[in-house]
Amino acid sequence: MPGEIPPKKRGRIGSFWQQMTDGLELQELWGQFKSEAREGYALYEKDVDWEEVKKEKSGFKRFLRKWYLLFKAMLMKLSPARRVLLLAAMVMIVFHPEVQGKHGQVFTIDLVGLGAAILFVLLAMELAERVTMKRDLEIAREIQQWLVPHTPPDVTGYDIAFATRPQNTVAGDYYDAFVREMPGVSADAAPMMVVVADVAGKSVPAALLMATFQSGVRALASTTATLDEVVAGLERYARAHSLEGRRFTTAFMAEIDRGTRVMRYTNCGHNDPILRRASGALERLSVGGPPLGLPVLTDVEIPYASASATLAPGDLLFIFTDGLVEAVNENGEEFKEERLLRSIEAGASGNATEILARVMNDVNTFVGFARQHDDITALVLRVN
């Protein structure tokens, strides 16, 4: 039929469209665009002097002032050379000067094509920098992934699962579960350590401190130090490298005697983990102290309390970072602990992997395409 696209050409168009969209539906693409647009607006909005906007008495002038300041904030993110090129390109596209010839003819100089070419070159330069930065971040992510376990440890009597959703390419959350290798202690008698931590801040700075925290945990755990001594050692290191308290770390650390199932734990300013007993009763593990690395007025070490809980078959321990309960949807609503508790209860009969998958799926469904402000990490331990 006239106007019908040949099957071969339709196939090429479809293949190209799949490549461009990564297989996403139009609704998903629109949701992703809205999320990225809001994030971009928030980035530039921080640099706008809103008091200056409010000084304008006319609503129309306030509108113009607002968008002028937003454009200026965007412009100042570029290098000086690129600012000039962008302004020049916009002038070429918007203004079409008229020139009078020798015989009185009037010619309009159309520089739209040149302006568009300059904009394309600027876009290519920005993309090149973004790709280079992304490649570096991907390398950092690979290194970071070496520091956390890829698969849960196989420990008789315990079912463990963990998952993380970084806010950016690299994260400041840390999770681990391992049987300690202690001098003079056999592998069968060695306790299991479970750790979930959250370094204040985001992206590369938080990821670097997460790496040092991980090395500290592993180094101290390979000695005969008690849990209290491990926490004290981490606090000393965190305080010395916290940039005057700006990079503190919250952490929940537990050590489980695999023979008696007695769990000794310390909560260092972390979200209280949820211990769901086989009976359905809930306990919150809050005993401990402040986050590691907070500034103090004296050199005296901060005392961190610890507590014990005896685990039994069917008990479930759910440890999470604040990014989970503070996850927001497109309306700015938080996931909150009420939804978390309902999600855990709904999947409580499953194994650790099933429970964790249920919670993470509920969180992902709730937030949709909304960009998150923090990393989301959770660890589930079920006693068999």
CB neighbour list of residue 244: distance below 8 Å, 6 or more residues apart: 295
Task: Return the SS3 of 345.
Answer: helix
Q: Three-state SS for 170?
A: coil
Phi and psi dihedrals of 312, rounded to 5?
-135, 160
- pLDDT tens string for the chain (384 positions)? 555 667 666 677 778 878 787 777 787 777 778 777 777 777 788 888 888 888 887 888 888 888 888 888 888 888 888 988 899 988 888 887 777 767 667 777 788 888 899 999 998 888 888 877 777 767 767 776 777 888 899 999 999 999 988 877 666 788 999 999 999 889 888 999 999 998 887 667 777 788 888 889 999 999 999 999 999 999 988 887 766 656 788 999 999 999 999 999 999 999 999 999 999 999 999 999 999 988 765 566 778 999 999 999 999 999 999 999 999 988 889 999 999 999 999 988 899 999 999 999 999 999 888 888 888 999 999 999
Domains of the chain by residue range? 18-77, 85-147, 152-383
What token pair was written down for 108?
């309009």
CATH 3.60.40.10 fits 152-383, yes or no: yes
Task: Of 177, 172, 219, give the one whose Cα is nearest residue 195.
Answer: 177
pTM of the model as a whole: 0.74
Tell me the C-alpha distance between 180 and 178, whole Å: 6
Question: Is residue 327 helix, strand or coil?
Answer: coil
